[in-house]
Structure 1
Amino acid sequence: MIDQTITQTISTCLKKHRKLLVAYSGGVDSTVLLHALVKLKQQADLAVRAIYIHHGLSQNADNWASHCQQQCQQWEIPFIIEKVKLDTSAGNIEEQARHARYQAIYHHLKSDEMLCTAQHLDDQCETFLLALKRGSGPSGLSAMPVENQQHLRPLLTISRKQIEAYANWHQLTWIEDESNQDDHYDRNFLRLNVLPIIDQRWPQFSQMVARSASLCQQQEALINELLLNDFHQVLTQQGQLRLSPLRDYSEYKRNAILRMWLRHQHVMMPSQKQLALIWQTVVQAKNDANPQFVLHHKQIRRYQNLLYLLPLYKDTELEVINWDLTSPLVLPDHIGELHALYQNDLTCRLPNRDEHITVRFHAQGQLQIVNRQGSRAIKKLWQENHIPPWMRTRIPLIYYDEQLICAVGVFVTDQGKGSQIDFRVT
């Protein structure tokens, strides 16, 4: 009976999805998920792969990877091992491991595949309680959906006891991660010390929590539906937020729009305090300020009444790179490749034989620009060309000896005037 229940539940969850990548740790949950998919694969047109993420936190990790590889060979499932590095001194190793795990998995996930993970009913209960501990609202208390974007959780309505019963019935073998017994971790503390006592008193507690999470999901979906038109009105085509309409919204509506924006760009949700700080320190900063707020390896910036979400850029101001023009130049910090072009709309002169070419990312002083009367401070030139402050050290500057010739794609100085060469970043 349990065999049929789990198989049918997974089959219903899959719907029309036929290409799957299973996050396979070798534990009982993911072993049952993969085994059930192998059985379904024999009956339906399924393409199933598995991936093991090697965190390197346990001395047994190599053995676990070997176990998973052997099991996949036996079940004739293509298998990937991916190693990730964690900084054990940086704190919150649970969050680090989760972030690194999903980053590695999504690197391998194909555009036409769905990621399948083995979270179950008890995991849902733990996630809900952890969100409650953090003081989360409906979004956090929604816990985990069965499906979102490219992610499926086919076992989310199945209990841990049912999963273990299935594994024992089919005489499956799995690994036991010793860290699961360490109640220093919040999730393990709930699993080992709290939920067993609650389940003794209220055996249906996990199901009731799942129901509450589902109701929170419905409420969150309704809020998003009601706000969707407003969200699209304040969102630019490039993904920035227009601040003028936001200033007229109530605090509640404004915060909901900000959360939608961050979720839209796959950023972990900020706390209420962080939202307040974003508004106070970035949006409400003085007009001549250059405010920045760092949030989960991203930066939030304001420029010309728009709110930007950007990566954390490295400082390139001191970079000086020699270039001979003969091949594309790879620029630092993923800025792109710099090319020298010799046809169509050429804007600069070629260097003289005795002139040395360098690429830099910082300039100062007054400049005379082609087709402009008088000189301009470079800060004014950036402003006139609507270049945000954080981009001003990411635009390559071409120098012949110590003379600035051009800011690629922005302006050419009188000293670089000509029609023999052009520069482009790709």
Structure 2
Amino acid sequence: MNESIIINNIKIIKLINNKIINLLNYIYNKYKIKSYVISFSGGIDSTVLLNIMKNIINKIDFKINIRAIHINHNLSIKSNDWEKHCIKECNKINIKLIVRKIKISSNYIKKYGIECSARKLRFNEINSILNKNEIVMIAHNKNDNLETLFLSLKRNFLGSIKFYNNVYGMKILRPLLNYSRKYIIIYAKYFNLNWIEDDTNNNLKIDRNFIRKIIISKLEERWPNFIESSSKAIKTLNKKNNIINYFINKNIDKNINSDLSLNINNLFKEDEFYIFNIIKNWIKKNNIKIPSFNIIKKISNEIKYKKLNYININIYNSIYIRKYKNNLFCIKDKYIINSYIKVWENLLNKFYLPYELGILIINNINKYDYLIKNNKYIIHNIRKNNENEVISIRINTLSKNTKIKFKNCKNNKCLKNIFQNNNIPFWNRNKIPMLFYNNKLICLIGIDVTEEGFPSNNNNISLIYKIGLNGFEPLTSPLSGVCSS
């Protein structure tokens, strides 16, 4: 290697080091964050990142905390050898390494694909070891970004890797994203670093490998500067997207409700592009992974053209986009609620509702007065059961046309009208527990006490409902006496 190449390589190494030093100083000065976890696969990219962080640790204005995590995916016969390699490399430079093993089921791969399955489980493991105010570093580079752009094209949208973003609640930083793989190779060879070559990177059945080995390599043969020029185009694209998202989010904030539902009254007159981006960014605000282009398009079309009163679109396994009274909701609904009847044999014991709906307690109301102020509790004052009355809890057993009479209401009301008058969306109507004495409905829990269950004189007890993770929280005040007349 001649002297000019060596000098040029040293300049590249100094440039990368100084840029990352400036970045870490900026993060510390602005956010007071000084702890980092490096996602270390043992490949050339993460090996370079690990060694950069080790090399600059004493050149930063503050004390920095660095550790690494290696995820053994068990996808190769060499997986355990790679794990040992990572342990050895971290021991060599005195960086603490956490190792996690995962196993990806064939059903998971069939559903999400190998790459997506591995990423989901890998992020879960990384998230599980993070401390507060700790940033995850991932060694993506310019080449990875171009590959991601090509992958997004086949999914009907333009996408790229973010330099910094939030994934599953984790802060993710990619300090090598502005450097192409050729610079990373220069760095690795200059310091004689050891890295592993993942044989699965040669599997052309994996989309990213096909794009890397076949498409991008051909483009680089024809246009050697293609990676650099495309990187500039991606940056321009990101800037334009950021501007669009800025104005979209301003409009979302005007129409978003306290429960993160979206008021769509003003969307009907807007064009398709605007509605599409409103829906996409609103889903993101609900901390839900953005679904495919086709699903967002379907939601947008139903708002723009069909103007349906009823929207119920499954975007993932248990996550639905639903419409109620011109509001869109992101709903996590992992249970199918079947009809349920169970006797409450001992009132001294708590009654645990199925489907994570919550807990019921019967006791003296004075003892639980303080719970009224907590919106995770609902209290009803009801009459005490007679000796010959068996108490049971039922869920989803009454038809929508069942007539019910509340004490303070003039007329009987059918169940459907009660739900409508109390603003109960259709997806919550089968979650409402009901208290029965024999076959007499005493209380629609969370709504009101029936005429049969109304207390008299000193014949009263309190029914306390502690709302569970999947429980129904009424849109009205969490106190009893909500009359639906």
TM-score, length of structure 2 as denominator length: 0.78
- Deviation at 1:330? 4.9
2:431 pairs with 1:394: yes
Kindly name which structure, 1 or 2, has the bigger radius of gyration based on alpha carbons: 2
Picking from 49, 54, 76, the partner of 2:95 is: 76
Q: Secondary structure at the match of 2:265?
A: helix
2:78 pairs with 1:60: yes
Picking from 366, 373, 382, the partner of 1:348 is: 382
Q: What corresponds to 1:296 in structure 2?
A: 316
Q: What corresponds to 2:470 in structure 1?
A: none
Q: 1:341 to 1:252 in 2, by over 3 A?
A: farther
In the alignment, residue 76 of structure 2 is paired with which amino acid?
S
- Deviation at 1:206? 1.0
Most deviating of 214-223 and 61-70: 61-70
Q: What corresponds to 2:246 in structure 1?
A: 225
Q: 1:243 to 1:161 in 2, by over 3 A?
A: same
Distance 1:338 1:284 in 2: 44
Q: What corresponds to 1:315 in structure 2?
A: 336
- Encode CA deviations 1:51-86: one digit per residue, 9 max, x unaligned: 333433333334434443454455232525153544
Q: Secondary structure at the match of 1:310?
A: strand
- Deviation at 1:173? 3.0
Q: How does 1:31-70 map to 2 (within 5 A)?
A: 31-44=47-60, 45-70=63-88
Does the 8 A contact of 1:285 with 1:291 survive in 2?
Answer: no
| Structure 2 residue runs without a partner (length 5+) | 1-9, 370-378, 468-485
Q: How does 1:176-255 map to 2 (within 5 A)?
A: 176-255=197-276
Q: 1:249 to 1:7 in 2, by over 3 A?
A: same
Most deviating of 65-74 and 143-152: 65-74
Q: 1:250 to 1:178 in 2, by over 3 A?
A: same
2:412 pairs with 1:362: no
Picking from 258, 262, 277, the partner of 2:298 is: 277
Q: What corresponds to 2:16 in structure 1?
A: 6
TM-score, length of structure 1 as denominator length: 0.87
Does the 8 A contact of 2:340 with 2:397 survive in 1?
Answer: no
- Encode CA deviations 1:307-365: one digit per residue, 9 max, x unaligned: 11111331122344565454555544444444555432651244556655444431312
Q: What corresponds to 2:44 in structure 1?
A: 28
- Identity among equivalent positions (%) equals 27
Does the 8 A contact of 1:355 with 1:401 survive in 2?
Answer: yes
Q: Secondary structure at the match of 1:26?
A: coil
Does the 8 A contact of 1:361 with 1:392 survive in 2?
Answer: no
Does the 8 A contact of 1:28 with 1:167 survive in 2?
Answer: yes
Distance 1:63 1:320 in 2: 55
Q: Secondary structure at the match of 2:111?
A: coil
Instruction: Tell me the C-alpha RMSD between the 2 structures.
Output: 2.8
Distance 2:56 2:122 in 1: 26
Distance 2:410 2:101 in 1: 59
Does the 8 A contact of 2:102 with 2:121 survive in 1?
Answer: no
Q: How many residues align?
A: 421
Q: What corresponds to 2:163 in structure 1?
A: 146
- Deviation at 1:23? 2.0
Q: What corresponds to 2:416 in structure 1?
A: 379
